[in-house]
Copies of this chain bind each other. A is one copy, B any other.
């Protein structure tokens, strides 16, 4: 009888361990804003959904085959940076001078290591350089020409500005410059907000129970004075902690910095025992009450996820450990 009991315990313990280890998952976003059926053709919708599916499955395959959340986040974001559809890497928005200036950050939840770059004009894949800052420099955050110089020192791939620029973003800059010259506080006009902002992000939980988060963006169309938004700020755009969750933000960066959005979600989970879903909703509501808008994706250490926004849409996708895929654009 004793032996049966021991075997029973052994089986139970193995199965518990397996369940825990199998509980992985990945969530991505491609920006939040005024995205409605009215300003979207069927073809555009298909292109975005295809890109979101291809991106999220890259990370999912890495996690499924025992890869780390860091690799899943990096490779997934590289795909989104390389796609001209999203405001990151190729296809990023243009600043006041007509240049692309890129920001990215990464954080891992086991040791709370992090890396970030802001204002790069040359780095093909900012997310990889953010990870390189974390792993190969004594610093967390590098900026401007210094970030580009670091990437060069580390043999990361550099490209010309022409690589990043697309016709769509050039037209956007013209339209927004024109509108901003005519109106004083055009930044609050929802028709332009969708064009002005945009980010890509990915959060993942791997089979080892480790969380990771990454965010990458070209920032805000027509930005001046080497503006830094929330995307490269640890605590605002990106945060990960195995004790609570991994978060990536997208939206009106100034509000997300002031709200310390990504860390606030983690703090509500750790200090008030909120679920990842309740914490994300609470923080997005706070941003809304301040006058800001945008969204977040988050995943906790059990694989529960949140995709919360106060805008009419957010490009997003989630795959759970069973391979169930969920792709959405509208709220």
Chain A interface, number of residues (Cβ within 8 angstroms) = 45
Report whether A139 and B263 are in contact in the complex, using a CB–CB cutoff of 8 Å. no
Whether, in the assembled complex, A267 has its beta carbon less than 8 Å from a beta carbon of chain B, the answer is yes
Beyond A236-B234, A271-B271, A290-B112, whether A141 also contacts B227 by CB under 8 A is yes
Q: Which residues of B contact A119 (CB under 8 A)?
A: 143-144, 146
Q: Which residues of B contact A239 (CB under 8 A)?
A: 260
A86-120 contacts to B (CB < 8 Å): 107, 112-114, 118-119
Beyond A139-B254, A257-B234, A258-B140, whether A226 also contacts B264 by CB under 8 A is no
Smallest CB-CB separation from A143: which chain B residue? B226
Q: Which of A113, A257, A264, A268 is most buried by chain B, counting CB atoms within 10 A of its CB?
A: A257
How far, in angstroms, from A263 to B145 measured CA to CA in the complex? 29
Whether, in the assembled complex, A137 has its beta carbon less than 8 Å from a beta carbon of chain B, the answer is yes
Smallest distance from the beta carbon of A245 to chain B beta carbons, Å? 14
How far, in angstroms, from A186 to B285 measured CA to CA in the complex? 45
Smallest distance from the beta carbon of A228 to chain B beta carbons, Å? 4
How far, in angstroms, from A139 to B225 measured CA to CA in the complex? 9
Smallest CB-CB separation from A263: which chain B residue? B260
Q: A119-B144, A234-B258 given; name 20 further pairs at CB < 8 Å.
A: A112-B259, A137-B225, A138-B254, A140-B254, A140-B257, A142-B228, A143-B143, A143-B226, A143-B227, A143-B228, A145-B226, A147-B225, A150-B225, A233-B234, A234-B260, A235-B257, A235-B260, A235-B263, A260-B260, A272-B272
The 5 closest A-B pairs by CB, nearest first: A146-B226, A146-B225, A271-B271, A235-B260, A267-B267
Q: A residues near B, CB below 8 A?
A: 107, 112-114, 118-119, 137-147, 149-150, 187, 223-229, 233-236, 239, 253-254, 257-260, 263-264, 267-268, 271-272, 290
Q: Could you write out 10 A-B pairs with CB less than 8 Å apart? A: A138-B187, A139-B254, A142-B227, A143-B228, A144-B145, A147-B225, A149-B225, A263-B263, A267-B271, A268-B271
